[in-house]
């Protein structure tokens, strides 16, 4: 006798990274247990009426409750951050356990677990941030943590408190190679940024918009090329995060044409914002869009769209880095309008990532539905060792699903669920929004948020399972 499903989602237009087809989805014990036409009855039934159903989003680059230098504080912790994720269709998040210089990497991981414990509404894993690759970190902590399931780490080529020099990057890349981990690289040339920043400050140019002047495309291009060269020297794959425009894309295409395994990530801000959003005059409001690398211009946006479509980009993440605009712990530290050097870098986007790309990418005719699924769910799960449990609609996968509602709606921050007092995309007309989000077969969002704090599970990551960089899956 066939076992009864806990839940059947009827008449779904199922979208995966490879196919779009009509099926019912049967869920048992939180996992997908049936996929086909006219499945047997379930204890609960949900009629999707031909609506598109995708895997839940995997946001492989977001910052939640990451320790900051006082008075600055991230606006979202694991409660509000994963609440916003769920309401925007994201069912797995991978934020960062960041090592402070001088701190043990293991202590950073333990601290981050404490921050997440009992709070998450969706499942989560951790990337590491390695800011101090001491002999103990390189020889003991990092290899052991990778073996325990923290299989990816980020290194920075900029920011004084995080950056590594080239020799240190070579050291950590060697560990990635030995242990089969995924190294994520923030590629911007720190010395060039510092030199430009000092010149701008000397000229009194300290308004938020000058953040973009201090970080022109060439500082990203140079660092991207250098990161690629260092990875080539060590002979290890790397993933360049938050790629913002043409010149960095050209470096990645060059690397691929030379047979190097260089993966790439981009984010909504490089499709939907430009440097003009940092201000056309010296108004402080542009602080809301200060992030690094900065948004570029319309021609760079077109290059990013092309790269999403043609396989240059592996992953589309939010880089949600939430700081409130008003108050004294966010974009105005201690309540002050500060020179751009001191504005906390980052913008919110964990809830809007999927709807923006679905609206403008899929319904705007720029990418296929399969490509959308690949970029927002399947590839991030593969890159960080969570596939096929996450990022797919297949027998045995977690029943993390999004039932999409198509139809226009205006994006308003008041309708979002993060703890940030603005969205950079206020007033934008969207063509779709997640109608229902399920995590492990449980409805967490259906126009109302259904809290499940503490039921989000910590995920032990395996090794990356991505194919060759640039290949279509
Ligand atoms: O400006 C950004 N991107 N802030 C978040 C930290 C990072 O570098 O990803
Ligand atoms: Zn970064
Ligand atoms: Zn980031």
44-68 pLDDT, tens per residue?
Answer: 999 999 899 999 999 999 999 999 9
Instruction: Identify which of 62, 63, 315 to mutate to test ligand 1's pocket (most ligand atoms within 8 A of the CB).
Output: 63
Instruction: Give 37-41 contacts, CB < 8 A, sequence gap 24+.
Output: 39/5, 39/8, 39/10, 40/2, 40/4, 40/5, 40/8, 41/4, 41/5, 41/8
For residue 269, give the ligand nearest its CA: 1
pLDDT of residue 473: 40
Radius of gyration of the chain from Cα atoms? 21
* Average pLDDT over every residue of 223-235: 98
Is the pLDDT at 307 greater than 80? The verdict is yes
pLDDT of residue 249: 98
Helix (H, G, I), strand (E, B) or coil at 280: coil
**Residue 223 structure tokens:** 């660092």
Confidence class of residue 3 from pLDDT cuts 50, 70 and 90?
A: confident
pLDDT of residue 471: 57
Helix (H, G, I), strand (E, B) or coil at 140: helix
Average pLDDT, the chain: 97
Burial class (CB in 10 A: 0-12, 13-18, 19+), 405: middle
* pTM score of the predicted model: 0.98
**Cα(385) to centroid(ligand 3), Å:** 19
Inter-residue contact 312 to 264 (CB < 8 Å): yes
pLDDT of residue 345: 98
Is the pLDDT at 467 greater than 60? The verdict is yes
Inter-residue contact 23 to 12 (CB < 8 Å): yes
User: Where do the domains of the chain lie, and which CATH numbers do they carry?
Assistant: 5-55+391-412+429-445 (2.30.40.10), 57-378 (3.20.20.140)
* Average pLDDT over every residue of 347-374: 98
**Residue 28 structure tokens:** 């048992």
* Average pLDDT over every residue of 237-262: 98
150: nearest Cα among 102, 77, 96, 111 = 96
Cα separation values, 245 from 213, 277, 295, 305, 461, Å: 15, 16, 8, 10, 30
**Cα(357) to centroid(ligand 2), Å:** 21
pLDDT of residue 329: 98
State the DSSP code for 354: H
Residues with CB under 6 A from ligand 1: 63, 186, 242, 291-292, 319, 321, 345-346
Inter-residue contact 385 to 251 (CB < 8 Å): no
For residue 127, give the ligand nearest its CA: 3
What digits encode the pLDDT tens for the residues 319-338? Answer: 999 999 999 999 999 999 99
Helix (H, G, I), strand (E, B) or coil at 168: helix
CA-closest residue to ligand 1 atom 4: 346
d(CA 142, CA 128): 9
């Amino acid at each position: 006798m066939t076992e009864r499903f806990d839940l059947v989602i009827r008449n779904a237009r199922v979208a995966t990274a490879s196919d779009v087809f009509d099926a019912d989805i049967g869920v048992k014990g939180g996992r997908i247990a049936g996929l086909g036409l006219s499945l047997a009855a379930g204890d609960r039934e949900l009629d999707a009426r031909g609506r598109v159903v995708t895997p839940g989003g995997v946001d492989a680059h977001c910052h939640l409750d990451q320790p900051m230098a006082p008075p600055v504080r991230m606006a979202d912790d694991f409660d509000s951050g994963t609440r916003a994720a769920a309401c925007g269709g994201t069912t797995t998040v991978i934020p960062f356990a960041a090592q402070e210089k001088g701190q043990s990497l293991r202590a950073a991981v333990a601290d981050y677990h404490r921050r997440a414990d009992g709070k998450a509404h969706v499942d989560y894993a951790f990337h590491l941030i390695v800011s101090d690759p001491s002999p103990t970190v390189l020889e003991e902590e990092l290899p052991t943590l990778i073996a325990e399931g923290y299989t990816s780490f980020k290194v920075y080529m900029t920011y004084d408190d995080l950056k590594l020099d080239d020799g240190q990057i070579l050291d950590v890349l060697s560990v990635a190679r030995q242990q089969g981990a995924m190294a994520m690289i923030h590629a911007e040339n720190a010395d060039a940024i510092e030199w430009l920043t000092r010149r701008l400050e000397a000229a009194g140019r300290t308004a938020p918009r000058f953040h973009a002047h201090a970080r022109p495309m060439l500082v990203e291009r140079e660092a991207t090329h250098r990161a690629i060269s260092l990875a080539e020297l060590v002979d290890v794959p790397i993933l360049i995060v938050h790629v913002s425009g043409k010149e960095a894309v050209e470096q990645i295409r060059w690397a691929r044409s030379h047979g190097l395994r260089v993966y790439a990530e981009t984010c909504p801000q490089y499709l939907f914002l430009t440097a003009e959003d940092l201000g056309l005059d010296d108004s402080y409001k542009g602080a809301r869009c200060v992030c690094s690398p900065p948004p570029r211009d319309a021609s760079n946006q077109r290059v990013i769209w092309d790269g999403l479509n043609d396989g240059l980009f592996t992953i589309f993440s939010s880089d949600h880095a939430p700081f409130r605009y008003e108050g004294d712990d966010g974009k105005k530290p201690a309540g002050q309008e500060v020179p751009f050097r001191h504005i906390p870098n980052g913008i919110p986007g964990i809830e809007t990532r999927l709807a923006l790309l679905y609206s403008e990418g899929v319904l705007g005719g720029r990418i296929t539905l399969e490509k959308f699924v690949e970029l927002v769910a399947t590839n991030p799960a593969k890159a960080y060792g969570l596939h096929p449990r996450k990022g797919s609609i297949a027998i045995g996968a977690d029943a993390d699903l999004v039932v999409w509602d198509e139809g226009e709606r205006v994006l308003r921050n008041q309708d979002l669920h993060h703890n940030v007092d603005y969205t950079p995309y206020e007033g934008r007309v969207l063509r779709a929004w997640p109608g229902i989000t399920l995590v492990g077969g449980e409805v967490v969002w259906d126009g109302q948020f259904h809290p499940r704090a503490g039921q989000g599970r910590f995920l032990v990551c395996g090794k990356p399972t991505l194919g060759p960089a640039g290949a279509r899956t």
